[in-house]
Amino acid sequence: MWESDAGKLLALIHAAEGELFERWQELGDSPAHTRERAAMRIAAEDLLATKIHRLGWGTHVNEW
């Protein structure tokens, strides 16, 4: 994702996470979808990495 506006980027990430969640619910535990679930897991990890590295999530853990 190359969005430079942090608010827009976060909205796009949340939308993608929502779509992944819905698809996971549709797939269930069927072994026929193992490869798709693996690809989705990688996508979810990439979204989390984007939130951490581009949006600074997790950098203010002890600042309250």
pLDDT at residue 60, rounded to an integer: 61
- Residue 43, domain extent: 6-53
pTM value surpassing 0.85: no
Does the residue 61 lie in any domain? no
- Residue 52 has, within 13 A of its CA and on its CB side, a CA count of 8
Does the residue 34 lie in any domain? yes
pLDDT at residue 12, rounded to an integer: 95
Provide the phi-psi class of 5: left if phi over 0, else alpha when psi is between -120 and 50, else beta. Answer: beta
pLDDT at residue 28, rounded to an integer: 87
For the chain, which ranges sit under pLDDT 50? none
Does the residue 19 lie in any domain? yes
* Residues 6+ away with beta carbon under 8 Å from 58: 52
Does the residue 12 lie in any domain? yes
- Secondary structure class of 16 (helix, strand, coil): helix
Element (H, E) at 11: helix 6-27
Domain count, the chain: 1
Does the residue 60 lie in any domain? no
